[in-house]
């Protein structure tokens, strides 16, 4: 065995060992048992909560924190003031507030506000002192939680359901749904390796402890419910849950008990309406049950058809989603009409209408938040961006067309639209909307780093385009840097190694490095921690001693590896690849049918690079930097040179 072969075997062994080792990170564990008694006339409920909390950390905890989300829906709350302050900003002629919130909280009447009040709180049977910080409850423990210990918190609480403003609430004026019950119960905050995360509810995002939920909801017998978990008393309820009855089973009681259990989840949502309809579809093979629950509208004959299409589309795309991103592990998933747009929860989503784009996006959140539960406040782009990227692929699979084809079809209708032509010429085949959004963000001058806390962006505009669009480009562009196959394998390894473990951005990038053999810390630094941009140009070309020399220039501040595509007058093509020195490696050729030559690495400190090509200058027809357009170059006009000899 020669030395080269020996080193190859060692390298493969080390790669296998690193790539497939299970990461270890302690995390807390919860088990909720809740019973809710609901008064629909007063829009009020009381609850009893037993919380078994396991402190798996090495730390002694002197206090705990709970979220009290409903308290955000009161005049002069942090959510109210923040929305109205952002509304004073004008972007593209529009106020920058969330159009669903605006100044509505300020105008809520006493019987329309939301609140959560703690009646009593005991730990291991002993009452504990607590104080309110608007949407956060701070509990100073009489006796600390010791490392590796399990303790039981018993709580009695009451709450008033606010008028629907954001995500949660009652009497939605748009959908007509009576109760969208998200962020509805006192929920213990996350404690992880960075400490407590008592994030006030200002507008976004969420972070929760994985565990088991056992929830019983007692509500007037005419109401129909859907939510997180499995309905374990389906035989008492009927209405399609027991597979035999499409109507609610009769009861002699004024209230009906709905008993749901959700295991290995980090939140619990439910919704209720007297006029809901329920569709049930059981997936062949794995038996996953899909529920579609929507508001019946007798004057809209196509409403039933549209919601039936949700179940059909979901069933069609699930095998593709599992192949690309990992297996869906829960026994059921529910698409429930409610909320104010689309909002993801474990084993369920609230969506205001049957738009398939929203359906695919919210379901993909089952991967990028419900299973891979990053701290959304700190890594909103790993939640929304990854989901946006994935949902685009799901839509492409379902529609059998890429997102770029939509732009091309639009151009056919307006062939003289110069702006649309320029836009199309700058877009990759997939995730086009994300590139359009990102380029608009850069042009606006309002961009902020991806590392910005979700609540602390200066504008809603910047938050949305940064987290969704720039976050999605992170993955599309990663495929450009390490190769499509390596990127796709990274996604599956990320799922396999980090589901149910609250990963952060470094956890993800280390997997990508292990899979590809390429260093990527520079990519994280530039793309996530800064608002620097990519801009390359073909500076000049000339012939010297029978060789053509092409000088490339980096104008932007983000260095990148370069794919240089050459087309010759005889119709042949060559791909010339220039790795970046910070990568300490090179990506595989994504198109083996196309001849590729690898050149010496480009040092990031050097603004210029000269490529030598073994062709006469007169042979050239087209020179193009990154023909795939996945590199988010903010000025693609200088990436293409057409030679008309």
For residue 11, what pLDDT is reported? 41
Residue pair 149/43 in contact (Cβ under 8 Å)? The answer is no
- Spatial CA neighbour of 274 closest among 219, 218, 311, 227: 219
Residue pair 153/90 in contact (Cβ under 8 Å)? The answer is no
Residues in the chain, overall count: 645
Q: Which of 188-192, 200-204, 357-361 has the lowest mean pLDDT?
A: 200-204
For residue 21, what pLDDT is reported? 58
Flag whether pLDDT at 641 surpasses 60.
yes
Which band of pLDDT confidence, cut at 50, 70 and 90, is reported for residue 582? Answer: very high
Region of residue 7 (phi > 0: left; psi between -120 and 50: alpha; otherwise: beta): alpha
Q: What share of the chain is helix, strand, coil (3-state, %, to 5)?
A: 30, 30, 40
Flag whether pLDDT at 251 surpasses 90.
yes
Mean pLDDT, rounded, for 89-97: 96
Helix (H, G, I), strand (E, B) or coil at 514: helix
Flag whether pLDDT at 584 surpasses 80.
yes
Mean pLDDT, rounded, for 402-416: 93
Beta bridge partners of 544: 547
For residue 22, what pLDDT is reported? 62
For residue 644, what pLDDT is reported? 87
- Show the beta-strand stretches assigned E in 250-298: 255-265, 270-273, 276-282, 289-295
Please give the helix or strand (H or E) that residue 482 lies within, else none. helix 471-482
Residue pair 161/179 in contact (Cβ under 8 Å)? The answer is yes
Q: What is the largest CA-CA distance in the chain?
A: 97
Dihedral angle over CA of 11, 13, 18, 22, nearest 10: 170
Which band of pLDDT confidence, cut at 50, 70 and 90, is reported for residue 592? Answer: confident
Mean pLDDT, rounded, for 9-14: 39
For residue 246, what pLDDT is reported? 85
Report how far residue 576's alpha carbon sits from residue 600's, in angstroms, rounded to the nearest whole number.
11
Burial of 204 (0-12, 13-18, 19+ CB in 10 A): buried
Mean pLDDT, rounded, for 138-143: 98
Per-residue tokens: 388:
């946006």
CA angle 533/536/539 to nearest 5° reads 150
- Show the beta-strand stretches assigned E in 518-619: 536-544, 547-554, 562-568, 573-578, 596-598, 608-613
Flag whether pLDDT at 629 surpasses 90.
yes
Per-residue tokens: 545:
């001693």
Flag whether pLDDT at 5 surpasses 70.
no
Flag whether pLDDT at 423 surpasses 70.
yes
Report how far residue 110's alpha carbon sits from residue 106's, in angstroms, rounded to the nearest whole number.
11
Dihedral angle over CA of 266, 272, 275, 276, nearest 10: 10
* Dihedral sign for Cα atoms in the order 367, 370, 372, 375: positive
For residue 308, what pLDDT is reported? 96
Which band of pLDDT confidence, cut at 50, 70 and 90, is reported for residue 85? Answer: very high
Report how far residue 86's alpha carbon sits from residue 617's, in angstroms, rounded to the nearest whole number.
56
Average pLDDT over the chain, rounded to an integer = 95
For residue 204, what pLDDT is reported? 86
pTM: 0.94
For residue 8, what pLDDT is reported? 40
Q: List, in sequence order, the alpha helices (H) in 275-329.
A: 303-325
Which band of pLDDT confidence, cut at 50, 70 and 90, is reported for residue 82? Answer: very high
Residue pair 153/50 in contact (Cβ under 8 Å)? The answer is yes
Residue pair 584/525 in contact (Cβ under 8 Å)? The answer is no
Mean pLDDT, rounded, for 205-232: 97
Mean pLDDT, rounded, for 565-573: 95
CA angle 372/377/379 to nearest 5° reads 55
Report how far residue 116's alpha carbon sits from residue 503's, in angstroms, rounded to the nearest whole number.
31
Flag whether pLDDT at 621 surpasses 50.
yes
Mean pLDDT, rounded, for 248-252: 95
Residue burial 104-135, b: 16+ Cβ < 10 Å; e: rest: bbeebeeebbbbbebeebebeeeebebeeeeb
- Spatial CA neighbour of 53 closest among 195, 197, 153, 127: 153
Flag whether pLDDT at 23 surpasses 90.
no
Q: Which domains does the chain have, with CATH numbers?
A: 24-209 (2.60.40), 226-371 (3.30.2010.30), 396-529 (1.10.390), 536-642 (2.60.40)
Whether a cis peptide bond, with omega within 30° of 0, leads into 203 is no
Question: How many distinct helices (H) and strands (E) make up the chain?
Answer: 15, 33
How far from chain centre, in Å, is Cα 418?
Answer: 34
Share of the chain above pLDDT 90, in %: 92
Which band of pLDDT confidence, cut at 50, 70 and 90, is reported for residue 1? Answer: very low
Flag whether pLDDT at 495 surpasses 50.
yes
CA angle 265/369/393 to nearest 5° reads 130
């Amino acid at each position: 065995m020669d030395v080269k072969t020996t080193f190859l075997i060692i390298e493969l062994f080390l790669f296998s060992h690193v790539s497939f080792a299970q990461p270890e990170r302690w995390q807390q564990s919860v088990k909720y048992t809740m019973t809710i008694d609901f008064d629909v006339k007063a829009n009020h409920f009381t609850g009893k909560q037993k919380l078994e909390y396991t402190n798996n950390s090495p730390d002694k905890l002197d206090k705990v924190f709970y979220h009290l989300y409903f308290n955000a829906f009161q005049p002069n709350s942090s959510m109210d003031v923040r929305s109205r302050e952002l509304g004073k900003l004008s972007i593209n002629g529009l106020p920058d507030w969330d159009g669903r919130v605006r100044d509505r909280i300020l105008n809520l009447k006493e019987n329309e506000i939301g609140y959560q009040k703690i009646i009593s709180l005991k730990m291991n049977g002993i009452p504990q002192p607590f104080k309110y910080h608007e949407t956060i409850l701070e509990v100073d423990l009489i006796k600390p939680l010791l490392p590796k210990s399990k303790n039981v918190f018993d709580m009695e609480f009451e709450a008033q359901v606010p008028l629907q403003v954001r995500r949660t609430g009652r009497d939605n004026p748009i959908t007509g749904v009576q109760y969208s019950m998200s962020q509805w119960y006192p929920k213990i905050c996350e404690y992880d390796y960075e400490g407590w995360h008592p994030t006030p509810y200002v507008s976004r995002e969420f972070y929760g402890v994985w565990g088991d939920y056992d929830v019983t909801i007692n509500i007037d017998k005419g109401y129909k419910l859907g939510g997180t978990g499995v309905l374990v008393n389906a035989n008492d309820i009927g209405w399609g849950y027991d597979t035999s009855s499409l109507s609610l089973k009769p009861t002699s009681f004024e209230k009906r008990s709905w008993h749901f259990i959700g295991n290995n989840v980090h939140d619990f949502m439910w919704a209720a309406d007297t006029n809901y309809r329920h569709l049930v579809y059981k997936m062949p093979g794995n038996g996953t049950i899909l529920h579609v629950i929507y508001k019946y509208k007798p004057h809209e004959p196509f409403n039933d058809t549209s919601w039936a299409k949700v179940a059909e589309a979901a069933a069609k795309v699930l095998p593709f989603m599992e192949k690309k991103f990992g297996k869906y592990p829960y026994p059921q998933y529910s698409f429930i009409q409610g909320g104010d747009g689309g909002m993801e929860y474990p084993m369920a989503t609230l969506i205001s209408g049957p738009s398939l784009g929203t359906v695919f996006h919210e379901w993909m959140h089952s991967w990028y938040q419900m299973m891979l539960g990053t701290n959304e406040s700190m890594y909103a782009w790993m939640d929304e961006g990854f989901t946006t990227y994935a949902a685009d692929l799901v839509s492409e699979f379902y529609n059998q067309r890429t997102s770029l084809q939509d732009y091309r079809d639009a151009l056919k209708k307006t062939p003289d639209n110069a702006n649309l032509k320029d836009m199309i010429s700058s877009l990759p085949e997939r995730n086009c909307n994300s590139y359009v959004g990102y380029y608009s963000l850069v042009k606006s001058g309002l961009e902020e780093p991806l590392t910005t806390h979700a609540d602390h962006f200066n504008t809603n505009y910047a938050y949305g385009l940064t987290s969704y669009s720039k976050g999605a480009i992170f993955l599309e562009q990663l495929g450009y840097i390490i190769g499509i196959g390596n990127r796709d394998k990274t996604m599956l390894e990320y799922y396999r190694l980090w589901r149910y473990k609250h990963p952060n951005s470094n956890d993800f990038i280390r997997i990508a490095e292990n899979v590809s053999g390429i260093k990527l810390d520079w990519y994280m630094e530039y793309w996530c921690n800064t608002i620097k941009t990519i801009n390359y140009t073909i500076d000049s070309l000339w012939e010297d001693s029978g060789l053509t020399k092409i000088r490339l220039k980096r104008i932007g501040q983000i260095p990148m590896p370069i794919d240089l595509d050459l087309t010759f007058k005889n119709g042949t093509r060559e791909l010339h690849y220039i790795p970046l020195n910070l990568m300490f490696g090179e990506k595989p050729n994504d198109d083996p049918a196309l001849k590729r030559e690898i050149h010496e690495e480009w040092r990031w400190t050097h603004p210029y690079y000269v490529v030598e090509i073994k062709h006469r200058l007169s042979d050239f027809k087209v020179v193009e930097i990154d023909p795939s357009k996945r590199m988010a170059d903010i000025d693609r006009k200088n990436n293409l040179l057409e030679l008309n000899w």
